[in-house]
Amino acid sequence: MPVLTRLIPSPVVVDIRPGALDDLATILSDQRIAPSGRLAFAISAGSGQALRDRFAPAFPEADWFCDADGTIDGAVRLADSIKKGGHYDAVVGLGGGKVIDCAKYAAARVGLPLVAVATNLANDGLCSPVATLDNDAGRGSYGVPNPIGIVIDLDVIREAPVRFVRAGIGDVICKISAVADWELSHRENGEQVDGLAAAMARQAAEAVLRHPGGVGEDTFLTTLSEALVLCGISMSVAGDSRPASGACHEISHAFDLSFPKRSALHGEQCGLGGAFATFLRGDHETAGHMAEVLHRHGLPVLPEEIGFSLDEFVQVVKFAPKTRPGRYTILEHLDLSADQIRDAYADYAKAIGS
């Protein structure tokens, strides 16, 4: 008998709306998440205290851990603390991307499901099967299970620094470039493309790209939140980060590794990298549209807008393929010299500025 369906890891709860955190106790009492009500909350040592003060009375059986600092060492400490704390039904990562990534890694390490309660929308990590954590070598990506639940309170998102919301726009829009890189690798190398994963990532990006609203509107924040969730699930469908990460992410990783003290937010770098990679691919119309939307939302489209010179950007693009050995993108396909990158960038800057 042929296999007619496949199982796709995905959250059992996705709650995106204003006021969602007011119902957090009800959401987390779902028998699929916490049948006994024993929860381990992971928060940051700083701003996490205000969240603890707000929610601790509603969760008398919960324990709170402040080890989620965005590092691999912090994630290991968090896992050890949870293990010593006793029996829990689930881990709840309550905070921004660093907190959630720490919580994802710790939950995987102790074998518990994770609920991600996001306080900003800086990147697609809130629902991805990847935890990005700082380590001694810079920054690493670690495979983890998808969160079992996603809670995004739009009232809280509006209170977050606007830069952290705009960054999520860049991380979503760049999926247009990432999927195109995947399809390029299929044509050139025969790499298998998962059509469902590609469709999810591309449509999520298109929804944000074509939305007329901005970060101050609930309709736009809902679309952005849903897009980030779908991009995360697309990686689970594919079995790796391919639908969400191509030359755009190679460029972002190269910024992080080449200039660790100066790099911008992940989504800011990915948006810029995605627009430039799309231009390199010869799709100048789409690259121009991406740059136009990024600019409208206050995101960088030129390296100078995040404090990098042309020479530094050329260095970043030249180094970018080394950040993901084995991944084939437009950068590997063209294998540009430094002078060719410089010329291509001049054409890109002229095209998006005209």
56-71 pLDDT, tens digit each: 999 999 999 998 899 9
Q: How many folded domains does the chain comprise?
A: 2
182-205 pLDDT, tens digit each: 999 999 999 999 999 999 999 999
Phi, psi of 138 (to 5 degrees): 130, -90
73 annotated among ligand-binding-site residues:
no
Distance CA 100, CA 28 (A): 16
- Check whether residue 45 and residue 111 sit in a common domain: yes
- Check whether residue 139 and residue 89 sit in a common domain: yes
State residue 98's pLDDT score.
Answer: 92
- The partner residues of 223 in beta bridges, in order of sequence, read none
- Check whether residue 151 and residue 184 sit in a common domain: no
Distance CA 290, CA 295 (A): 8
100 annotated among ligand-binding-site residues:
yes
1 band by pLDDT with thresholds 50, 70 and 90: very low
Residue 293 falls inside a structural domain = yes
Report yes or no: 71 and 134 within 8 Å, Cβ to Cβ: yes
128 annotated among ligand-binding-site residues:
yes
Which of 118, 142, 159 is at the close of a domain?
159
- Check whether residue 174 and residue 28 sit in a common domain: no
How far does CA 117 lie from the centroid of its chain?
Answer: 14
- Check whether residue 171 and residue 271 sit in a common domain: yes
Which of 103, 137, 159 is at the close of a domain?
159
∠ CA 281-286-287, rounded to 5°: 65
∠ CA 255-257-261, rounded to 5°: 80
Distance CA 174, CA 291 (A): 10
State residue 2's pLDDT score.
Answer: 60
116-139 pLDDT, tens digit each: 999 999 999 999 999 999 888 778
4 band by pLDDT with thresholds 50, 70 and 90: low
Pick the residue with more confidence: 214 or 2?
214
284 annotated among ligand-binding-site residues:
no
> Taking 90 as the threshold, does the pLDDT of residue 207 lie above it?
yes
Residue 154 structural domain: 13-159
136 annotated among ligand-binding-site residues:
no
Phi, psi of 208 (to 5 degrees): -75, -40
Residue 200 falls inside a structural domain = no
Residue 86 falls inside a structural domain = yes
Distance CA 97, CA 72 (A): 14
Closest C-alpha to 82, from 56, 112, 115: 112
Residue 23 falls inside a structural domain = yes
In the chain, the percentage of residues whose pLDDT exceeds 90 is 89
| CATH code, domain with 49 | 3.40.50.1970
Distance CA 293, CA 119 (A): 24
The pTM score is 0.95
266 annotated among ligand-binding-site residues:
yes
Closest C-alpha to 41, from 30, 23, 31, 54: 54
189: left (phi over 0), alpha (psi -120 to 50) or beta: alpha
Residues 6+ apart with CB under 8 A from 187: none
Residue 273 falls inside a structural domain = yes
194 annotated among ligand-binding-site residues:
no
101 annotated among ligand-binding-site residues:
yes
- Check whether residue 172 and residue 95 sit in a common domain: no
Would you give the DSSP letter of residue 244?
A: G
CA distances from 297 to 16, 26, 107, 120, 187 (A): 21, 35, 35, 16, 34
